[in-house]
Structure 1
Amino acid sequence: MTLAEPAHTNAHTSGYRVAVTADVVRPDGSSVHGDLGFQRLAERGIDWSVLPGDAPVLPPEYFDEVDAVLVMGHTHFDAETVDRTPRLRHIARFGAGYETIDLDACTRAGVVVTNTPTAIRRTLSTAAVTMILGLMHNVVPKDRMVRESRWADREHFRGVGLEGRTLGIVGFGSVGADVAHLMGNFDMTILGTNRSGKSTVADELGVALVPLEELLERSDVVLLTAALTPETTGMIDAEALTRMKSTAFLVNVGRGKLVDTDALREALLENRIAGAGLDVFDPEPLLPDDPILGLDNVLLSPHALGWTDQFTESVSTAALDAIVAIAEGRRADSVLNPEVFETEAWKRKVAAS
């Protein structure tokens, strides 16, 4: 199967073609995120088209006449796909997560993979702060009681002050560091944990990096910003939740699969933790009869808390900059598998273009 001839071309096109996954982008290029700026590709003679189908795994034939693909959501690219795409040389991720992309397979197949971690940093960190503050101050139930004229109920929804409390950031990378920076004026103790156990930024911010078990036991708010890997999948399970204080809150703006949803649901229903703020879920979306949806001590967002005008502009700019750079024979920022440039597979694809 080949892509239909795109309507969005430039008279001086170089023949470089970009496919866009159809999960959140419509055939005309409009997006749930807003204007993604595809005109920047056309201005450089790069053709683009939205793929005709949306599925977790797409037929390799979709990429027969494609040089690059802009991955908007969670489309999978494994060896079965990239080994059968002799022209594809670039997978550009709109966002930071790349757990659905097999980097080793891409490297062997001569496919460079890029993402946009810097572009999402501030929007995701402010989303995390929003979730923490909204949860601690019972914003949603208080809003609801005003709308329903239940002012007398306000005595049952006192908030939790942050001064002197402890915030634990699981996955202390660029987003976690930005959260620590933003929360620095709340007079909280801030802990972090990451894979290396080291961080120059943590040292500068006065954040102590500790083992996960210690972080869970000491924190009044546990914030998840970790990347999803085989090691982090299900890291907040029943045992981890038992380590948390009964007065502590769990906030997840990372990936839904970091948390065992069944274990979290049970902990919330049994009041073994104070509450949760969730922008991501497993499964996603939550089933409509999930008891979590009826809890007042849970603040929910449909994996969109960080969707702002600035998010769209910064992430799309970073992703399209990477596409343009590779198309023009330059090195892009945020290359996840830089060793690909030394492979024979990559060199063959460049020579054939």
Structure 2
Amino acid sequence: MAHRQHAPASGDEYVVGLSSDVTAPDGSTIFGDVGLDRLTDAGLRWEVMAPIAGHAPTATELAPYDAVLSFGHWGYSRDVAAATPRLKHVARFGAGFDGIDLAGLADEGVVVTNTPDGVRRPLALAAMTLLLALSHRLLDNQRAVAEGRWRDRGSYRGLGLAGRTVGIIGFGSVGADLAELIAPLGVRIITVDRPSVRARQQAGELAGVELLSLDELAARSDYVILTASLTPSSHHMVDADFLARMPSTSYVINVGRGPLIDQVALTEALRTGSIAGAGLDVLESEPPTADEPLLAMDSVIVTPHALCWTADFVQDVAGSVMEALIDVANGRPPSHPLN
């Protein structure tokens, strides 16, 4: 990585720009208090950036800043980094980094960080929440009561979990944590055979987790849970062929990124009964339009890419991202560099 001057010269300010996608001009965010006073106490100045057009700030928009606290999913390219010599750090409030050219920014001397420790358990629990809700047909039963159909209470027996097979796609920190959480429920856990996963298994980790091809995982799973990152190779990894291999009684759960699933193919599989249902905290296009077919399906639970946003999530992620911003500003290596 090329190096840029980190600590500001005497008399110069180190300025952090807050992405404006979820931030008000006074610094309040949809997450609540994220601890901006820590930046002030550390001698860093912060300000909310002006709204941008689209999802990628221009060099002009980034020019006033030494660092960006990126709450949403703005994109950052090598060309823009090359044209903003002041920029030293892009700090993600969360774990995802799709849309960021990690290698390109590294070549230009811009470090990118994220906050995996604060995300891991809340996101695993979000996936588990959808798993439990679908396995017990929670919304169907709640809807029956709300609509005065008490006599229908025997009509919504769930598939249950004991003895069922859960296929986890994306066996990084979130996937592994999820597996640890659900293993005591009596499920069989399978995942996709990747070199990194196989190495961990050979090292004595992942006991009881079976490694299969993606096609085999589709055919064997009662529940498929996606926690993977979005990359060119993972885009639409759950497509029409994958869904056709799944049992008709099975469910898909996605807490990773919406484009991991071909949403048109998923909608058709649900419409025809090729699979039983889905739990989606992420969609291909967010927010969805009012006429999005998935929103009208009783077999689908859709939440607004926020199911893991608990109080402990905000506290832990905010603490981690502020620490990273202060460390980089003072020339110290951050805890979670991505590049």
TM-score, length of structure 2 as denominator length: 0.93
Q: Is the aligned partner of 1:36 residue 2:34? A: yes
Measure, in 2, the Cα distance between the counterparts of 1:298 and 1:141. Answer: 10
Across the aligned residues of Structure 1 and Structure 2, the Cα RMSD in angstroms comes to 1.5
Q: 1:199 to 1:173 in 2, by over 3 A?
A: farther
Render the CA deviation track for 1:80-111: whole Å, top value 9, x for unaligned: 32111010010111111111101122012110
State how many pairs are aligned.
326
Alignment of 1:328-339 (within 5 A): 328-337=330-339
Tell whether 2:20 aligns with 1:22.
Answer: yes
Distance 1:168 1:13 in 2: 56
**Contact 1:180/1:205 (<8 A) preserved:** no
TM-superposed CA distance for 1:23, in Å, is 0.6
Equivalent residue, structure 2, for 1:302: 304
CA distance in 2, matches of 1:248, 1:145: 22
How far does residue 118 in structure 1 lie from its aligned partner after superposition?
1.7
Q: Does the alignment pair 1:140 with 2:139? A: yes
Structure 1 counterpart of 2:269: 267
What do the CA deviations read for 1:267-288 (whole angstroms, capped 9, x no partner)? 0000000110000001112221
Q: Letter of the aligned partner of 1:324 in structure 2? A: I
Deviation at 1:204, TM superposition (A): 3.8
Q: Is the 8 A contact 1:112 1:335 kept in 2?
A: yes
Work out whether residues 171 and 194 of structure 1, in 8 Å CA contact, stay in contact via their aligned partners in 2: no
| 3-state SS of 1:312 partner | helix
Post-superposition shift, 1:199?
A: 5.0
Q: Classify the secondary structure of the residue corresponding to 2:69.
A: strand
Q: Deviations over 1:252-303 (max 9, x none)?
A: 0000000000000000000000110000001112221122111111111111
Cα distance in 2, alignment partners of residues 253 and 176 from structure 1 = 10
Structure 1 stretches lacking a partner, 5+ long: 1-11, 338-353
| Alignment partners' CA distance in 2, 1:228 and 1:204 | 23
The aligned amino acid for 1:30 is: S
Give SS of 1:250's match.
strand
Give distance in 1, aligned partners of 2:295 and 2:117.
32
Contact 1:94 1:115 in 2 (8 A): yes
Distance 1:107 1:92 in 2: 13
Measure, in 1, the Cα distance between the counterparts of 2:148 and 2:61.
55
Distance between the aligned counterparts of 1:292 and 1:95, measured in 2? 26
**What CA deviation, in whole Å up to 9, does each residue of 1:42-72 have, x standing for no partner?**
0000000110113412221122221110111
1:176 aligns with 2:178: no
Kindly indicate whether the alpha-carbon contact (under 8 Å) linking 1:162 and 1:188 is maintained by their aligned counterparts in 2: yes
Instruction: Spell out the pairing of 1:52-63 with structure 2 (5 A cutoff).
Output: 52-54=50-52, 55-63=54-62
* Residues 1-353 of structure 1 aligned to structure 2 (within 5 Å): 15-54=13-52, 55-193=54-192, 195-196=194-195, 197-200=197-200, 203-337=205-339
TM-score (norm 1): 0.89
Indicate conservation of the 8 Å contact 1:92/1:319, yes or no. Answer: yes
Structure-2 separation of matches of 1:115 and 1:84: 23
Partners of 1:13 and 1:46 within 8 A in 2: no
Q: C-alpha separation between the residues in 1 aligned to 2:90 and 2:38?
A: 18
Please tell me whether the aligned partners of residues 253 and 279 of structure 1 are also in contact (alpha carbons under 8 angstroms): yes
Is the CA contact 1:292–1:298 (under 8 Å) kept in the aligned structure 2? yes
Q: Which amino acid aligns with 1:35?
A: D
1:14 CA displacement? 6.2
SS of residue paired to 2:166 = strand
- Identity over aligned residues, as a percent? 45
Structure 1 CA distance, aligned partners of 2:193 and 2:324?
A: 27
Match of 2:3 in 1: none
Q: Distance in 2 between matches of 1:133 and 1:104?
A: 39
Instruction: Specify every segment of 5 or more residues in structure 2 that has no aligned partner in the other structure, as ranges.
Output: 1-9
For the 8 Å contact 1:166–1:221, the answer to whether it is kept is yes
Call closer, same or farther: CA 1:184–1:285 in 2, change over 3 Å.
Answer: same
> What code does the residue aligned with 1:22 have?
S
Structure 2: how far apart are the matches of 1:199 and 1:186?
A: 26
Find the aligned partners of 1:220 and 1:160 in 2 and give their Cα distance: 9
1:42 partner amino acid? T
Q: Which range moved further: 120-129 or 201-210?
A: 201-210
Match of 1:7 in 2: none
SS at match of 1:190: strand
